[in-house]
Structure 1
């Protein structure tokens, strides 16, 4: 048990002492009622009413109509709330045109918990690194279509009755239920299309809903379905791993000895180059993907008696996400380690920012990766719940369910070729805000290919499963005392996250079959939105040509364990967690105030299975073409009491003050605990887990003043502070890993998670106001100042995910027939993680979106939504001098015809 006195304890005692002076009680339930709202104004009013009535810090988004959130994407909707940030990727896949992760108050997405109807949802990703080596606790919003959502609640302050797991807060996505609908029969359908201008593609979007309930309102069934396609084309400059520093052992620094003349050098030592940084790989990158999302939800409700409601719900969503990434690169990590730049190169703060390399016969100056992957991500759940009003003062709710998420890359079709032999290279960097100008000489066509290689024809699969059951009670007191009700309950969950790579294919003579097969060309206007001067007229093998050559010339080894097998134990691990929790929460109320005080006890047992690379056969439990491995098992136990207190003061009819204090906890990312160490032979860097990590414990203080100065009008200002104990940061250690190039253990620099304390202090300001009968404006701003005790390699003390400044501005118009909305969101730069051994950041970015709607008849409405209308370029960097990538995704337009019955 972890108990200690803090300022938090004092705050909770103060709240309790104040409660003793209460005069009378009032119900404190804040559940959304079943009144349906339509239109922009109706949804904003409903959201503000729910926020105002809540006894805790809450932000709410309510759908404007069935199947219509204020934005096309759930995460894009949430980014407009104060204190909410979004990101478009979960690992190193870079920036896309659709938000995929949500985080709160200047922290990483892993510290924000996402629930559906108050329960967990199994989630997995389509991107191969997120399926194995980089697996967080955040949920992929790509699997959650907005059409299913009734409202979204963002809990910024904790309550004992809320499920534990969100250090910085909890996002609860609420779906509809059959008995919520006003009419006996409801049928709706949406038929539309999405236009992606950069991909030059128009694709279908369909969704439908049918709801029936009987006249007595005792039985209902809701069926929803969706099918959505979308083409993506991302044009970029990528610098994988950023710049690297030349070491004393590199031949260009140490010199190349002449074997025929001891003491003499074929190339003289250049000790002046030691420690200077040069680009490892400078890439011209084209990524294309077809996304097909399909699934639906079925929900049943039955009231056998007036005091008992039973519910059964099932949800499934599958995303097919086949993708083709081509990266044509200057091979700096190859020739740059052995060849010195020509005289006249420029050095700024230890970085060679401008250099030319004269061509050397036999040296390859370009390397070209063509990677086609078949990929899927799936999420599903089934829940049963019962809501029983036992008597006038006692209510019980029971829920049990199971959920599963699966991300799978069954096959990867990869060609890596070298080109530009003897052609030389040059580059000029202009700082983090601009692409690097670069070029290589020699024959860059297929005829100039000097070597061929492949890797990755290996199954990668992630499975995320949870079974849970919970029972919650509410005891209401009607005696008029200060104590209005007590909430108490229990929850048990059995969660398992596993990464698998059990089989793959050994390549044969692929090059003979691939060479001379069908090719294509980069688009004619490639990277026009990125800028810079770098190769653009680039060829590539078509996906079918690449796939057929590899499949027809490889030996598939399914589950073969021996020394010639393709079972990659180094990519496998499992984390199992059993979570038992119990809570009690007292709810108080007086004439002009209300609040709650509670304790949540959490007991967690973790079993972690992973593998360690070894060189001694006597120590090896298993072996394959990926080396010898020793199984390792670890067990962790954590138990803790998490206190929380919320108090709300109605200072005036329109003025509300809220104060909250709590302790919250989040367990480390699954891969941070379990991942076996892995590395890249190209630059001898990689990552790995740390089973000894402790959970992150946050002590939180929050205060907010809200002025509801008119209907649909709000001005609020608040401040918060989070003290993070055992926050997860990353350090670099050296470990021995098996090299596929040398078939032996070698030393790699491994990025490893560690515990380090941190803190975040912030301010949130929000403003909403209708103007006249039809117009309105809204704006909010969040300032977050985060730091950690850990010092990164660049000397900074940044928290992962902390943007100091985030703001949103918007305006709307709506009358009986026509509606319009425009919004702009901007987020300042933030630290993502380590790329190789270097910290890397995403730069400031802003997105502009707009929507138009027209109600043609009572049964037909038409909407047009535009996303990323400013066509932003997402920029990533290693330092002020060193960029790492620039991404352009283009604009998207969604046209929908909505039919109602």
Structure 2
């Protein structure tokens, strides 16, 4: 027997019993999506609208309402959401490290993959610009980098589940609501924003443009909304990176014979001085047409498209510990502390390269789009139906990777000194590290990587209303979706004599003052080949094969996989109301079929279905079927005119990440580690309880406290397994330590506190705090039982001022450390960080307003680590300033 389901069912039955004995009342309070459209302008109006929506909702809901077109409380949608209680953000989806802009959203100390993001209640296909997110590390979370704030009317964060909500969000659902043509007050509305963003570290100022036009007929039966945006931004990230973390000296390594005290000691494999630069150019728009042929029927056709060009150049000059530390003994006087070789100097040996330098220029794009057709038909006074059919597609592509890897510092020796995980490692290499000191050249990596994410769906929903009794309405409906996620690596180039063309190519230098904000002593005055020199040398000296199949082809089948899912759902939800209480309960049935296609590396040609220069593989196909009933219940009690108590209970489900199911195992020859998928993973099913007390002590004033608990069965964790994979160096199968996803139970419980209060007519303050205590039945290599993504402490504090012409807001948000995943075979974490932002606005006239937004004013350094003694990386991104002029007609 499933004890948790039994307990949950008992809780819901108890709610029903209470409802049956409660007093009858008129129809229930409207939900967030049922409220009348209100034109909100200004900070105070936005906060009041958000609190009113939250108060009237029958479920646990947080709402952010835009002050005006393009004026969320923060410039970025994800940054806006992080100010809500229980919401966490992260700036990356894989191993690309910390950036200055949030990209992922998660709830209550969990992984972003467990939070579902929708637009207007429907799926939106995701796409990523980073090559690893396009192939090896593909989650179910949506990239917010493709969603500009100009599109947003409001954002709803559903913390408690309802049967009528689309399944997929174990910990909650974020619904981004766009504007509709018939929702505007005037016949014609025209707005435009002309501005610029300045990134101080990139020393660049770039344009930010958007425009909106809306027409609504005099009779209110026809409307057209057109929105467009073009936004460009240069960014530069300066860092110290330790790719792959530290490795342990093995008893079989040559140095163990002369220095047995080094056996089992952690040593940095690579210590990098890293410069990353990128141009992000985002453009797209939204078109919506609404038509009301009669009072009871509304038809709508909507299309959205967003594309981001994200060409990027990463340079990492690294001390090459893997090259010498296993065979060469450090000079006398080295120190070992907490199992780490904390101080070491290596006298140079002729013929030994002490440095390796990677220069990787990538052309990358990410794009997403959707098209929906909606029909809303009021069949009679008591029955309403809604129909929607839609399609969405996202594509992330890296069509070209221009890569040079050179070795240098021959015979020059090396040294380092560590200082725990809070400070960069001091390190240096001797010898010639100029272009003339290069001793070898190589190029690696797939020349093309593409990921496609697409879904077609149809929804049919009904609402039956009742005019008397405690049962105010019943919602019921069905949904069918066909989803496919595929990673492809179909093309490669045979390199020719690239080095002959490149070694005399144009070079440039790292910027002055490089990495000054992160501290530490390590090489900074470095050179690199310019992107054009690297690109031209590789394009002009590579042969692109017409046929990449066969033993001499460069089709990397091992990087390809596909997951196809067919999802059927049906639900029924009863909405109740009485004297000073309201609520709902329901059941959602889900039936899912998964087809997974992947490859297994083999050594024997007779067992291979496909082969190329990258190895031989056997095609594998798997099928999974999952069906279950997910119950949910929400109750709201008006204990007093200004005091609301809520209780919610539910079961929710999220399917494993796409790459967790489908990705073929892959490995790095550098340290014989890698990653892969597990097609036999089960979905995560969570039993959730939530209680909250809200005191609306004055207009725009709120004091609330709540507790929550999520008990997750078959939570996705990662284990390290030994697998035989193809080595590109030896061209045979070798043993690798592979990080593979597994099912393990997990739980998280916590507390949320919220305080908002106006001070006089023009001032106000707000603050919230979330405590999340998470653990897993899985024990990581470092002996912990952490949940992925769990920050124990998150808080936000802010203050604002606004009168009829001037507004100002200051906000600070903090998140404590959390586990990200595995780096190689080792768990790694992001350290605690806080960000400070400010915004100013001035209403010059009824048709012109000016705004200034400043992000990351405290210029935080994002720190990552493997343990208290072993750092992983330190990133500095600088500050960003946005100046916008908004015109309205």
- With the shorter chain as reference, the TM-score category is over 0.9
In the aligned structure 1, how far is the partner of 2:64 from the partner of 2:71? 11
Correspondence for 1:248: 251
Aligned-residue RMSD, C-alpha? 1.0
Task: Tell me the CA shift for residue 389 of structure 1.
Answer: 0.7
Correspondence for 1:189: 192
Question: Aligned ranges for residues 210-609 of structure 1 at < 5 Å?
Answer: 210-253=213-256, 255=257, 269-479=258-468, 481-609=469-597
Q: Deviations over 1:637-680 (max 9, x none)?
A: 00010000000000000000000000000000000000000111
Match status 1:806 vs 2:807: no
Task: Tell me the CA shift for residue 249 of structure 1.
Answer: 2.2
The 8 Å contact of residues 504 and 558 in structure 1, kept in 2 or not, is answered as no
Which of 684, 693, 709 is the aligned partner of 2:681?
693
The 8 Å contact of residues 558 and 566 in structure 1, kept in 2 or not, is answered as no
In the aligned structure 2, how far is the partner of 1:304 from the partner of 1:67? 31
Structure 1's 238 and 580: CA in aligned 2 closer, same or farther, altered over 3 A?
same
Match status 1:126 vs 2:129: yes
Task: Tell me the CA shift for residue 343 of structure 1.
Answer: 1.7
Correspondence for 1:177: 180
Correspondence for 1:262: none
Q: Deviations over 1:75-100 (max 9, x none)?
A: 00000000000000000000000000
The 8 Å contact of residues 446 and 556 in structure 2, kept in 1 or not, is answered as no
Question: Aligned ranges for residues 766-781 of structure 1 at < 5 Å?
Answer: 766-781=754-769
SS at match of 1:697: strand
**Contiguous gaps of at least 5 residues in structure 1:** 256-268
| More divergent stretch after superposition (456-465 vs 607-616) | 456-465
Task: Tell me the CA shift for residue 23 of structure 1.
Answer: 2.1
Which of 657, 660, 667 is the aligned partner of 2:648?
660
| More divergent stretch after superposition (345-354 vs 109-118) | 345-354
Task: Tell me the CA shift for residue 272 of structure 1.
Answer: 2.5
SS at match of 1:390: strand
Match status 1:849 vs 2:837: yes
SS at match of 1:20: helix
Q: Deviations over 1:810-846 (max 9, x none)?
A: 0000000000001000000000000000000000000
Match status 1:18 vs 2:18: yes
**Contiguous gaps of at least 5 residues in structure 2:** none
Question: Aligned ranges for residues 162-173 of structure 1 at < 5 Å?
Answer: 162-173=165-176
Q: Deviations over 1:443-491 (max 9, x none)?
A: 1101110110111242100000000000111111002x11111000000
| More divergent stretch after superposition (17-26 vs 200-209) | 17-26
Which of 52, 55, 70 is the aligned partner of 2:55?
52
In the aligned structure 2, how far is the partner of 1:132 from the partner of 1:351? 33
In the aligned structure 2, how far is the partner of 1:666 from the partner of 1:684? 32
Correspondence for 1:872: 860
SS at match of 2:739: strand
Which of 126, 138, 142 is the aligned partner of 2:141?
138
The 8 Å contact of residues 28 and 582 in structure 2, kept in 1 or not, is answered as no
Q: Deviations over 1:569-622 (max 9, x none)?
A: 000000000000000001111101110010000000000000000001110000
The 8 Å contact of residues 413 and 457 in structure 1, kept in 2 or not, is answered as no
SS at match of 2:168: coil
In the aligned structure 1, how far is the partner of 2:162 from the partner of 2:445? 46
In the aligned structure 1, how far is the partner of 2:352 from the partner of 2:399? 35
SS at match of 1:215: coil
SS at match of 1:548: helix
Which of 724, 731, 739 is the aligned partner of 1:751?
739
SS at match of 2:8: helix
Task: Tell me the CA shift for residue 367 of structure 1.
Answer: 0.4
In the aligned structure 1, how far is the partner of 2:281 from the partner of 2:757? 39
In the aligned structure 2, how far is the partner of 1:5 from the partner of 1:157? 17
The 8 Å contact of residues 82 and 766 in structure 1, kept in 2 or not, is answered as yes
The 8 Å contact of residues 492 and 548 in structure 2, kept in 1 or not, is answered as no
Superposition TM-score, scaled by structure 2 size: 0.99
Match status 1:149 vs 2:116: no
The 8 Å contact of residues 502 and 558 in structure 1, kept in 2 or not, is answered as no
Task: Tell me the CA shift for residue 4 of structure 1.
Answer: 6.4
Correspondence for 1:27: 28
Task: Tell me the CA shift for residue 558 of structure 1.
Answer: 4.2
In the aligned structure 2, how far is the partner of 1:185 from the partner of 1:740? 63
SS at match of 1:6: helix
Task: Tell me the CA shift for residue 689 of structure 1.
Answer: 0.1
Task: Tell me the CA shift for residue 27 of structure 1.
Answer: 3.1
Match status 1:62 vs 2:56: no
In the aligned structure 2, how far is the partner of 1:5 from the partner of 1:87? 32
| More divergent stretch after superposition (33-42 vs 118-127) | 33-42
SS at match of 2:21: coil
Alignment size in residue pairs = 886
Runs of at least 4 residues off by over 4 Å: 1-4
